[in-house]
Chains A and B, each alone.
Chain A
C-alpha cells in the first residue's frame, strides 16, 4: 500500500519552502522505488514548524518539522514512512501540546483534509450541516444561527442571526449572499488558511445561508494579495459538482484596497465601481449588492455555520464566556516565538495566548506591546495582558478583538512610530468620501511628527483631531484609526517624548 505523505500547500508553508520539500520527497521516493501518495494539505497552523510534513501511519499521522529539502534523504533513511525516529520527529500530530490544547471547530479540518477533494471533506463530516439545512424551514435555520450566539467574525461582532433574519424577512425576487474574504488586517490569516485548507467548509456555509435567506447566488470577495486562496477556491468550485445544489458561487478578486473590507465598499467593488463607502441606512440586508437584499458576512462567520447545524446550536453556545459564544480562531503574529492559528473558546486571557501558546517573543526580548484586532485595534501594554479574550472585556478597556489577529512587539518598538503609521495607513487607504478620514489622517501624521520633534503642545491637538475623526467619519477606517493612536499615546507616553501628561 502506498504511504500518504502530507506536505502543506498553504501560502505560509510555501513561503517557507514547502514546494521544494514536496519535490525532494517525490524524487527521493522515486529514487528508492517507493510508491507514495503526496497530498498538499492546508497548514495545521504551527507556522514556526513549517514546512511540517506528516506521514499517515497505523498510529495516526506523525509530524516532522520544520523540514528542509536537504533533510529529506535522512528522513527516508530514518524510516519516516513508518513514523521512524528522527531529530525532526514531533510525534503524533494531534498530540503536539500546542495543537492538543486547542478546541478547533471552524478550523477542525484545516491541515487535515485534502482541500481539493470533496470526497475527503465529506468523509470527515463535511456536508452534514447542509444536509440538515435542506430538511429545515428557512426560519428554523435562522433560529439555529441565532440560538448559537454566533456573532459576526469580521470585527464588528454583530449577532449573525439578526442579520440573517433581516435578509430573510425582506422580500425581493433576487437576493445575494456575499462572503467578505478581504482579510486586510495585518496579523490575520485565518480566512486565508480556511480558504486554502478547507474551502468546502466555506462553500457549505454559504449554501446554508442561501437556503436560510432565500438567495441562489453567492459571491466571495477575496483580496488580490491572496492568489493562492483564490486558486484554492476556484479548484474547490470546479470540483463541487452538485454539492451546492442550485446555489451558485462566484469568486471576485479585489485590487489592493484595504477599505474594500468595509462591507458597503466591498459591494461597490463587486459592482465594478471604486470601493467607496456607502452611507447607511439602507443596510445591505435591505438594499445591498445591485440594490438587492444582501447577506454579507465574514468568511469565518459562514464557515462556522455548517458545524452549528450539524452539532446543534447548543453545542456551540455552550462554549465561550459572557456574550461571546463559541470559539474564535486567534492568530498569533509579529514578534512571537510560536506564531500561528490558535482556535479556542472565548475566555482565555491574552497572556495565556501570548506566553502559553506563543512562547513569548521570537527575538527573546521582553514583549512590550501587542496590537489586537488589526490596524484599527488598540496597542495594549503588559499591564493589560490579563484581559480576557471576549468582545465585552476588550470593549471595556477601549479595545476590540476584531478578527482575532494579535501582533506582538518586543521592547525595541517605538509606539510613537506605530501611532504615526496608523495615521499614515489611514491616509493611504482612505476612500476619500468623508473629510475627517481623508484630511484628518494626513494632518494626524503631521501632528505626530511635530510631537516626535519635541513639541508637546501638539498633544492636545492630536486628541482633538482624533475626536473629530471618531465622531465624524463615515466608517470604521476613519472612526477607529484613533484607537491605535490614542492607546499608544495613553499607555506608552514615554515614546512621545514624555510630554503627554
Chain B
C-alpha cells in the first residue's frame, strides 16, 4: 500500500474514537516509521482540528518523529538509576560510536529496568540490562552486520 493509502486507512480506523489523535499518530508511526508531513492535513480535516493543532501535538511528544529514523533506533537510558551505575559514560560512548553510523541514538528517561542498569532499548522491542561499554559495542556491531 502507498503511504497516502495507509494514512487514509488509519484515519478511518480511528477517527470516531474519543480522543483519537494519539492512537492515530501511534498507528501511523508504527506503520510508516514516522508521521510524514503530508499526513497532517488529512488528520486535521478528519478530526476537525487546525493543522497547527495537529503539528503542535506531534512536536510536543518526544516519541513522535516527522522524519524516518536510521536503520535502527538505539535508546540509552539517561535517568538517575542508570546514572548511578555508569549510564552517562555509556550514553557518551554511544554518541561517539554511533556518529555517522546510520543508526539513530536517542536518550530515554527510564525504561523501568532500574535495578539492572544501565539499560538500553533497541527498536522499541529489545531490551538490554547491565550494559557495559564492551557489551554496547558488541550490540552495535551485531546491528551493523545484520543490516
- Chain A residues within 8 Å of B, Cβ to Cβ: 11-12, 14-16, 47-48, 50, 183-189, 191-192, 224-227, 229, 252-258, 269-275, 290, 331-336, 339-340, 362-363, 371, 375, 405, 407-410, 413, 418, 421, 425, 428-429
Do the beta carbons of A189 and B22 come within 8 Å of each other?
Answer: no
Q: Write the chain B residue with the least CB distance to A484.
A: B80
Q: Write the chain B residue with the least CB distance to A424.
A: B78
30 contacts between A and B (CB under 8 A): A14-B127, A15-B113, A15-B119, A15-B128, A185-B110, A187-B79, A187-B81, A189-B112, A225-B121, A252-B22, A254-B63, A255-B22, A256-B61, A256-B108, A257-B61, A257-B62, A258-B109, A274-B57, A275-B60, A290-B18, A334-B80, A334-B117, A335-B84, A339-B116, A362-B85, A375-B80, A407-B84, A410-B84, A418-B83, A425-B109
Known contacts: A48-B115, A421-B80. The answer to whether A186 contacts B109 by CB under 8 A is yes
Smallest CB-CB A-B distances: 9 pairs = A339-B115, A272-B21, A186-B79, A333-B114, A334-B84, A255-B61, A256-B62, A256-B63, A15-B127
Number of chain B residues close to chain A: CB under 8 A? 41
Chain B residues, CB < 8 A from A48: 115-116
Give 18 A-B pairs besides A16-B129, A333-B84 with Cβ atoms closer than 8 angstroms.
Answer: A12-B115, A14-B127, A16-B130, A183-B112, A184-B110, A192-B112, A224-B26, A255-B22, A255-B63, A256-B64, A257-B61, A258-B109, A270-B19, A272-B20, A273-B57, A334-B85, A362-B85, A428-B109
Question: Which residues of B125-147 are within 8 A (CB) of A?
Answer: 125, 127-130
Do the beta carbons of A252 and B23 come within 8 Å of each other?
Answer: yes
B9-49 vs A, CB cutoff 8 Å, 1 = contact: the mask equals 00000000011111101100000000000000000000100
Q: Write the chain A residue with the least CB distance to B20.
A: A272
B82 at interface by CB-CB < 8 Å: yes
- Chain B residues within 8 Å of A, Cβ to Cβ: 18-23, 25-26, 47, 56-57, 60-64, 79-85, 108-117, 119, 121, 124-125, 127-130
CA distance A255 to B65 in the complex (A): 11
Do the beta carbons of B116 and A11 come within 8 Å of each other?
Answer: no
